[in-house]
Amino acid sequence: MTNHPTADETSVEIDPPSEAFDAFSTAIEALAPDETLRFEQLRVSRDGDEVVFETEDTRYELASDREIHDAAEANAAIVTNWYFFEHVAGDHPPRRAFLRWLEHSEDTAVGERYAALRDGLVREWGQLRITVRLTDRGERRYDVRHVDDADATTGGGLETYDDPLDARRLVKFDDDGRYRPLKTAPTLPTGWAFPELGPREMYETVETVYPATVVNWHRERDGRLDIDHWRETMERQSGIYGVIKTWDRGEGYEHVNRVAEACCDDSQCLKRREWQYDEETDLDVDGGDGVFPCREPCSLVVSAARKWTQLDGETERTYEFELTPSEKEQIETIIDAVADGRTHEIREADIYDGANRYRARYLRAKLFDEDGNLAGVPTEPAEDDGSESGSE
């Protein structure tokens, strides 16, 4: 039976570019007799001199180039979808997988997806908000910006860019002008947008903001993420191995838990930590909920851990301080506020917050001596009055 193409079954009008028709014809011509071109809902094969063109609910047997062209035109969504992913997206597997993920292609049929793409489909990648929209030619355009700028207009405060390389400069400092040593820290600055990118430029922009995140996400999806756990990574740090090798099960394990809690928590890094203490030993602290994985301790963590290893190597001493209960609690509140990065949120007038600047200044004025010693207790016994200096 030969059905003649009628109207496009989706509610979205698409006017496919001639390149899509040309690529489709070329692909059909190249089909071997027993070969089937398959892509999502599209199936095309040869049956003698005829071309069998099938979608989920339509089957055409096409005898001429004209009929093939008409069938493609009547199913423009399905054909342009094939063309986009097979010819425009390129053959870099992580990019292709990312483009498909962005438009939820794994769980929506083409017609439904095209209708949604008209309004724009949104995904978040770390602090990036990526919107993909469909043009009336079946092409995709991408808008990349900070999630907090979702409703900002490009004419009203957002600076717009079209060269992915500009992203390097844009994300170097946070909104307070501080250098961002960790690219995946949740401190991405706001106020910019790449509103009209093609698929390759969008991918390049994302990889500039968050390097290697798509590649590692893709490897993880394919079950190929090679994870270097803490001990393996440390054993490669030749220069500091002398310090790190003292870390072993027991005490070392607790150190690494603290390192991960301090640095890799979602509040500090948007990667989901997948590395553990070693192949057999998971850390106690949660790896986070980030969409993209972290496959090994980063240089920032290694360098911080080195310092902490040295500090933790010091011998503990007993100090005696006289504090009121409120003062003890205030010191705990101050440490919490600094660790959680919330000191800038504490209003000057909020003297009920122990980490309030005036409260902290009052505590310092009351408890520090002229040398900055808490409660007048020197850090080193040698600074004391000689009672502990051991002179004989």
Tell me which of 145, 218, 231, 273 binds ligand SF4, using CB under 6 A: 273
Question: From residue 118, how far is each of 12, 73, 104, 146 by CA, in Å?
Answer: 8, 19, 14, 21
* Residue 216 Cβ vs ligand SF4, minimum distance, rounded to whole Å: 10
Parallel/antiparallel/unpaired status of strands 140-146 and 192-197: antiparallel
* Residue 22 Cβ vs ligand SF4, minimum distance, rounded to whole Å: 45
Distance (Å, rounded) from C-alpha 357 to C-alpha 292?
37
Instruction: Indicate the SS3 state at residue 42.
Output: strand
Nearer to ligand SF4, 146 or 273 (CB): 273
Distance (Å, rounded) from C-alpha 142 to C-alpha 140?
7
Tell me which of 45, 271, 359, 363 binds ligand SF4, using CB under 6 A: 271
Distance (Å, rounded) from C-alpha 13 to C-alpha 115?
10
Spatial contact of 118 and 12, defined as CB atoms under 8 Å apart:
yes
Nearer to ligand SF4, 75 or 187 (CB): 187
Instruction: Give 80's DSSP letter.
Output: H
* Residue 140 Cβ vs ligand SF4, minimum distance, rounded to whole Å: 30
- Pick from 282, 273, 293, 278: which is nearest to 220 by CA? 293
Distance (Å, rounded) from C-alpha 71 to C-alpha 65?
10
Spatial contact of 261 and 285, defined as CB atoms under 8 Å apart:
yes
Other CB atoms within a 10 A radius of the CB of residue 237 amount to 18
Tell me which of 75, 81, 184, 356 binds ligand SF4, using CB under 6 A: 184
Distance spanning both ends of the chain, measured CA to CA: 111
Which tokens in the block code for residue 52? 């069998």
Tell me which of 264, 331, 346, 363 binds ligand SF4, using CB under 6 A: 264
Nearer to ligand SF4, 55 or 237 (CB): 237
Nearer to ligand SF4, 134 or 264 (CB): 264
Parallel/antiparallel/unpaired status of strands 192-197 and 159-160: parallel
Spatial contact of 12 and 55, defined as CB atoms under 8 Å apart:
no
Residues numbered 289 to 318 that lie near ligand SF4 (CB under 6 A) are: 294, 297-298, 300-301
Residue showing tokens 């209708």: 115
Nearer to ligand SF4, 184 or 187 (CB): 184
Nearer to ligand SF4, 300 or 377 (CB): 300
* Residue 20 Cβ vs ligand SF4, minimum distance, rounded to whole Å: 41
Instruction: Indicate the SS3 state at residue 278.
Output: strand
Residue 197 found at the interface with ligand SF4 (CB under 6 A): no
Binding track, positions 208-247, relative to ligand SF4; x by CB under 6 A:
----------------------------------------
* Residue 50 Cβ vs ligand SF4, minimum distance, rounded to whole Å: 56
| The one-letter amino acid at 306 | R
Count of residues touching ligand SF4 (by CB under 6 A): 11
Binding track, positions 346-385, relative to ligand SF4; x by CB under 6 A:
----------------------------------------
Spatial contact of 275 and 297, defined as CB atoms under 8 Å apart:
yes
Binding track, positions 8-47, relative to ligand SF4; x by CB under 6 A:
----------------------------------------
**Sites of contact with ligand SF4 (CB under 6 A):** 184, 263-264, 269, 271, 273, 294, 297-298, 300-301
